Structure 1
Amino acid sequence: MSNNLSGSIPPKIGKLFNLKSLWLWGNKLSGSIPLEIWKLYSLSELDLSGNNLSGTITPQIGKLYKLSQLDLSTNNLSGSIPPEIGKLFNLESLWLFGNNLDGTIPSSICNLSSLGVLQLSENRLQGRIPQCLGNFSTSLTYLALNRNQLYGPVPTTFADGNKLEHLNLNGNKLQGPLPKSLYKCRWLQFLDIGNNEIQDSFPFWVESLPKLRVLVMRSNKFHGKVFSDYLKNDSIFPFPNLQIFDISHNEFTGPLPDGYFQNLVAMMNVRTNKTAGRNRIAYYSESFTLVFKGFEYKLLEILLTFTTLDFSDNKFNGSIPNSIGKLNSLIFLNFSHNMLEGKIPASFGNLSELEQLDLSSNQLQGEIPWELTRLSFLESLNLSNNLLYGPIPHFGGQFLTFENNSYIGNPRLCGYPLTKKCKDDDDDDKAPQPMLKIEGDDSEFLDGFTWQAVVMGYGCGLVFGVTMGCLALLYRRPMWLLKIFLGV
């Protein structure tokens, strides 16, 4: 346990022949792991995580046959994962993330039929993902291989009856289509395949996964229209529990999927979500990385009330469906950098929880609907680089806080905070009237925000404090299972 210990682990520890649990996590220990530790044949739990240990994982680890929990994460270990690790037949959780491990994932890991957690993320692992990882353990609930250098296809061997809940493959070089065998993962709650090189059309079959909360497909090579034949059956609700829907930075075309927006029931249930309160201290447990102003942050929890749609940086066209206004639990909405036309729907005024709205770099026309001034929690607005015209709504508390950058690149907009005045600027108390088209300056706007930055916004306040508290708890025993499940 964490006691601010420093220095190296003494070799004499190898004389504790009957030791069953060794927890030295969260200290300042350095040097290599002494070979004597691999002679503690009675060990069932070994946790050396969160130190500065270096060196390699030696083949002698395969002699600790009684190990059920092994955590060597967040150290400076290097070298490859020894194939002998496949001899630990009683192993239930294996945590090696946050090191400098390289080489391939040994296929011998598939001998660990009792394994429930396999966490190998944030290393330098290369090669293909062993096909056997899809079906080697009926107990596997958590598989994280994100932020490595893996390439090749996603395993196609996911079998009926598997219990996989968390699958994170983000930040590799994976290619090929997304395997339809993922349809068999009926317990799946978190699917992150973002930042790879996957080439495929939209995998409409994932919409029927009944427990899926998080779907991240951003920054791949997905293409084509986003729609589903399942929507012809009125008895089927696609994505019944989806809260984070991120398909940004792909090559999707066609209209926005109105059929989905009309049926995303988990994004409509604002009253249920508010049971956790505006402080949002209920969590869905899964690790993910966010990027904000060039810095990377890792949070262990996703708020149960955090809901987002990010369809930015694609080639969607047509108008924005009015049905978006039904998603009154939305906190983040990003349709920027597409080819959307028409007006901003007045129904956006019903998005009572919305805090971030980015519609920039489209071809939207018309006036900014005054209904947006109802959004009392709106913290960031980006309508730049469109074809909007008329006065900016100048009543409503939040709209008075937005600066020029929110509107820049719409030469026919006028009114505060722009320097271009409207003819009716002196009539502040009147309800909105038909607006005149006024010419103005044209300039560029800064890069848009992402939904990850929204989470960082929470991180700067109460949520970050609560999350870090959870992180400390989850990474520090007494029970390894708390690393995954917190109120789930």
Structure 2
Amino acid sequence: MEALPELRVLVLKSNKFDGNMSLPSRSNLPFQKLQVLDISDNEFVGSLPQTYFKNFRAMMDVKENKTDLITSSDDFDFLRYVEMRITLKGLDLLLKRLLKTFTTIDLSSNNFSGSIPDSIGNLNSLRYLNLSHNNLMGHIPASLGNINVLESLDLSWNKLDGGIPSVLTRLTFLADLNLSMNDLVGQIPQSTQFSTFENDSYVGNLRLCGFPLTRKCNEEDGQRMQPEEQDDEDDEYGFIDGFGWRSVVMGYGSGIIVGIGIGCWIIRFGRPRWLVEFFFGVGYTYKKNKKKKKKTRKRATPTQRRS
């Protein structure tokens, strides 16, 4: 398929396709006119297709003036009447037109591994990028800052580490950002655009700090510093987690058994006197001793009674 010179839309999502897309290409210029690549929810493995990222010409340097939208009558019919259902910003949408400036890559929900190649920054006309729910590792490439028209970026549910590149603040068109469920660290870059993203964009990255998260950062090294109230709360939960429910149940059970035993001992022998009188009233010990003396007299032998 990569040799098809007029292929603009390739949607293979929600199947059981597998294989490695990073193998050497058989074409010198694969997918020259491809604008939409959606292979989400499959079983592809290996690293991301870096060769394609370097050659998606229709996702590079696309002009936005109307004269470049239509180059022929055939293009006009295709651009106007094409229908495709794709997921954008978490919503399943049916598109009935394909503008030349519309570009998207969705490789989510596969088994891609390795790092995100810097070559993805070559696609400076890419609008939507979704690499979520894979096994990607390493840092977020700073080259993403070159995609000036990027509107949606989803890298969630991977194993990415390191900090969030400050160059991403250049993406002034970015309306949707999801970096959740990774292992990112350090301070969240601050800009007018980034201030519009809420906690959901960063949840699951326990070592991130700064607005909009409640975790504060040290001004010198950007390390996470917990507020005092948060520290107290963490200590409390740590205390509970450390003991576990089994230990708590065993402690309560042992306490109940010991308490019952002590209670029986107090009732039987009337000691200590002050505790018995506190619970059973003044004179309880005296009455108990009097009953004991009566029982002793009844059990006495006839000889003892005569004497």
Taking structure 1 as reference, are residues 438 and 213 closer, same or farther at Cα in structure 2, changes over 3 Å only? farther
Which residue pairs with 2:193 in the alignment?
398
Q: Does 1:346 align with 2:142?
A: yes
Aligned counterparts, 1:43-192, within 5 A: none
Distance 1:307 1:292 in 2: 11
User: CA separation of 1:319/1:422 partners in 2, compared to 1, >3 Å: closer, same or farther?
Assistant: same
Runs of at least 5 residues in structure 1 that lack an aligned partner in the other structure: 1-205, 425-432, 442-488
Whole-Å separation in 1 of the counterparts to 2:47 and 2:89: 31
Indicate whether 1:259 and 2:51 are aligned. yes
1:239-258 → structure 2 map (5 Å cutoff): 239-258=31-50
Q: Secondary structure at the match of 1:365?
A: strand
- What is the identity, as a one-letter code, of the residue corresponding to 1:251? E
Q: Check conservation: 1:389, 1:438, Cα contact below 8 A.
A: no
1:411 and 1:438 in contact (8 A); partners too: no
Q: Cα distance 1:322–1:434, how it changes in 2: closer, same or farther (>3 A)?
A: farther
1:275 aligned residue: 65
Which amino acid letter does the alignment assign opposite residue 222 of structure 2? M
Q: Could you tell me how far apart the structure 2 residues matched to 1:322 and 1:401 are?
A: 26
Matched, 1:288 2:84: yes
Show CA shifts across 1:404-439 (max 9, x none): 000010000000000001111xxxxxxxx7532567
- Closer/same/farther in 2, CA of residues 438 and 240 from structure 1, 3 Å limit: farther
Distance in 1 between residues matched to 2:182 and 2:128, nearest whole Å: 20
* Alpha-carbon distance in 1 for matches of 2:42, 2:92: 22
After TM superposition, the score normalised by the length of structure 1 is 0.42
Letter in 1 for 2:61: N
- The structure with the largest helix share of the pair is 2
Q: Aligned runs of 1:292-311 on 2, under 5 Å?
A: 298-311=94-107
Name the CA distance, whole Å, in 1 between partners of 2:83 and 2:25.
Answer: 31
**1:351-370, CA deviations, whole angstroms, 9 ceiling, x for partnerless residues?**
00100000000000000000
| Pairing 1:414–2:209 present | yes
From 29, 32, 35, the counterpart of 1:237: 29
Identify if the C-alpha distance between structure 1 residues 437 and 225 changes in structure 2 by more than 3 Å, giving closer, same or farther: farther
Deviations 1:111-162 (A, max 9, x none): xxxxxxxxxxxxxxxxxxxxxxxxxxxxxxxxxxxxxxxxxxxxxxxxxxxx
Residues 133, 158 of structure 2: 8 Å contact kept: yes
Normalising to structure 2: TM-score of the pair? Answer: 0.66
Residues 254 and 401 of structure 1: CA distance in aligned 2, closer, same or farther (over 3 Å): same
Q: Judging changes above 3 Å, is the alpha-carbon distance between structure 1 residues 247 and 296 closer, same or farther for their aligned structure 2 residues?
A: closer
* 1:287 to partner: Cα distance: 1.4
Query: Counterparts of 1:301 and 1:339 in 2: how far apart (Å)?
Result: 33
Q: Structure 1 418/257 Cα, relative in aligned 2: closer, same or farther at 3 Å?
A: same
Tell me the SS of whatever aligns to 1:208.
coil
Which secondary structure state, in structure 2, belongs to the residue aligned with residue 317 of structure 1?
Answer: strand
Structure 2: how far apart are the matches of 1:438 and 1:237? Answer: 50
2:56 maps to a residue whose letter is L
Corresponding position of 1:375: 171
- 1:336 is displaced (CA, Å) by 0.3
Deviation at 1:304, TM superposition (A): 1.8
Query: Residue 237 and residue 296 in structure 1: after superposition, are their counterparts in 2 closer, same or farther (change >3 A)?
Result: closer
Q: Which is bigger in relative contact order (C-alpha 8 A, separation at least 6)?
A: 2
Q: Does 2:181 correspond to 1:385?
A: yes
> For residue 67 of structure 1, what is the aligned residue in structure 2?
none
* Structure 1 Cα separation of the partners of residues 214 and 102 of structure 2: 36
| Cα distance, 1:415–1:297 mapped onto 2, change above 3 Å | closer
SS of equivalent to 1:390: strand
Partner of 1:454 in structure 2? none
Partner Cα distance (2:25, 2:187) in 1:
43
What's 1:103 paired with? none
Q: Give the direction of change, closer, same or farther, for the CA distance of 1:420–1:222 in structure 2 (3 Å limit).
A: same
Question: Corresponding residue for 1:217?
Answer: 12
> Offset at 1:288?
2.2
Q: Per the alignment, in what secondary structure is the counterpart of residue 215 of structure 2?
A: coil
Matched residue, 1:322: 118
**What is residue 436 of structure 1 aligned with on the other side?**
223
- Report the CA distance shift for 1:248/1:438 in structure 2 as closer, same or farther (over 3 A): farther
CA contact (8 A) 2:217 2:224 kept: no
- Structure 2, unmatched stretches of 5+, are 70-75, 231-307
The one-letter amino acid paired with 1:268 is M
Mapped partners of 1:312, 1:223: distance in 2: 13
1:389 partner SS: strand
In the alignment, is the contact (CA less than 8 A) between 2:216 and 2:226 conserved in 1?
Answer: no
Post-superposition offset of 1:265: 1.1
* Offset of residue 299 of structure 1: 3.3
| Aligned-residue identity in percent | 52
1:427 alignment partner in structure 2: none
